[in-house]
Structure 1
Amino acid sequence: MPFEVFSPEIDETPLVNERPDATALRLATAKARAVAAVYPDALVIGADQAAVLEGIQLGKPLNHMNATRQLHAIRGKKVTFYTALSLFNGRKGRIQARLVASEVKFRHFTDRQIENYLQKEQPYHCAGSSKSEGLGIVLIERVVSDDPSALVGLPLIALVEMLASEGVEIV
């Protein structure tokens, strides 16, 4: 299936009193709608992720110092990652949205491991400063999720179901 990658410019700031899972769903849908405005006849996928530690949303750190703080905070703890997925069918004017939660238990990594990881991976645009599809996997002790691909930011099991409901056969 041919595809194009397009990154829309949208404000990703959570709304006041917005739950992290709701933020992820809202942003995934906003991204899909923004891209659909450029590609009106396409099936458009939008995705977003929010990380939550002890009830507090961990945003994208954006720099080394904030990433260091986040990794110190999550060391040895459980973090829930909410990955939202939206599929917009421009021809039918229909949008589907799904949310997949992944509970991640982080290892008790050292300060040196944090610094080494950040120097090599620079996950400054990843919720929770953790990039599990790369070296961030060494920071993780355990993952519990209905969709193991959700943690990397695109829940493929959900996507296959959504595409099938739009008449798209993958295999």
Structure 2
Amino acid sequence: MQTSGDSRPIILGSTSRYRHELLQRLRLPFEAIAPAVDETPRPGETPLALATRLALAKAQDVAQRHPQAVVIGSDQVADLDGEPLGKPGTHERAVAQLTRMSGRTVVFQTAVAVVCHATGFEQQDLAAVRVRFRTLTPAEIEAYLRAETPYDCAGSARSEGLGIALLDAIDSDDPTALVGLPLIRTARMLRAAGCSLL
């Protein structure tokens, strides 16, 4: 798969369907390859540091295997008062996450990195999205989780779907960041890496 700029392949270092759908908006040919990265937080690691480290690690891991490609890595961690909230994985954990976030402001730290080993290019950036949750009843949480099953979403909230009904406000300068890939920042870095978008 080639770009129209310097003809380097573009690879999304992710198996996330949300990031795949977002990157398609740029209408660039790309392929998605799973990075082999341990996503376990390090002791004392902040959500911002975790998201930034993992985004770069994902891009670097895939770029090492595909050195001629321009590789995009991204990661998102929900930040509740400095505590990282990842993907819940189960219904019970999702209930616990949403119960804790009810009536509170959560910062979704969405990091993105672009790496090309052949050219020595490496950039990363972070889009912080402040999300204010409504005060949620247990019945609302159960109804939402039954409808959406967002167990693969950081913080259990799928804002592009019914999850928007859980929220009072979203504050961001990169609107797609909350879904999982900040496209304004991604496009900026792809241009800097030599990829022609328009």
Aligned mate of 1:36, from 43, 63, 75: 63
Aligned mate of 1:11, from 38, 57, 63: 38
Per-residue deviation, residues 127-150 of structure 1 (Å, max 9, x unmatched): 111111222111111011111111
Bigger CA drift: 40-49 or 29-38? 29-38
Q: Give, in whole Å, the separation in 1 of the partners of 2:59 and 2:139.
A: 39
Q: Paired residues, what number?
A: 171
Amino-acid identity (%):
49
Name the residue aligned to 1:168.
195
Q: CA deviation at 1:118?
A: 1.0
Which residues in structure 2 correspond to 1:42-81 (within 5 Å)?
42-81=69-108
TM-score normalised to structure 1 length:
0.94
Which residues in structure 2 correspond to 1:1-171 (within 5 Å)?
1-171=28-198
Where has structure 1 moved over 3 Å in runs of 4 or more?
none
Per-residue deviation, residues 87-128 of structure 1 (Å, max 9, x unmatched): 011321221100111100011222222112111211112211
Runs of 5+ in structure 2 lacking a partner? 1-27
TM-score normalised to structure 2 length:
0.82
Q: Give, in whole Å, the separation in 2 of the partners of 1:135 and 1:35.
A: 33
Q: What secondary structure sits across from 1:141 in the alignment? A: strand
Q: What secondary structure sits across from 2:32 in the alignment? A: coil
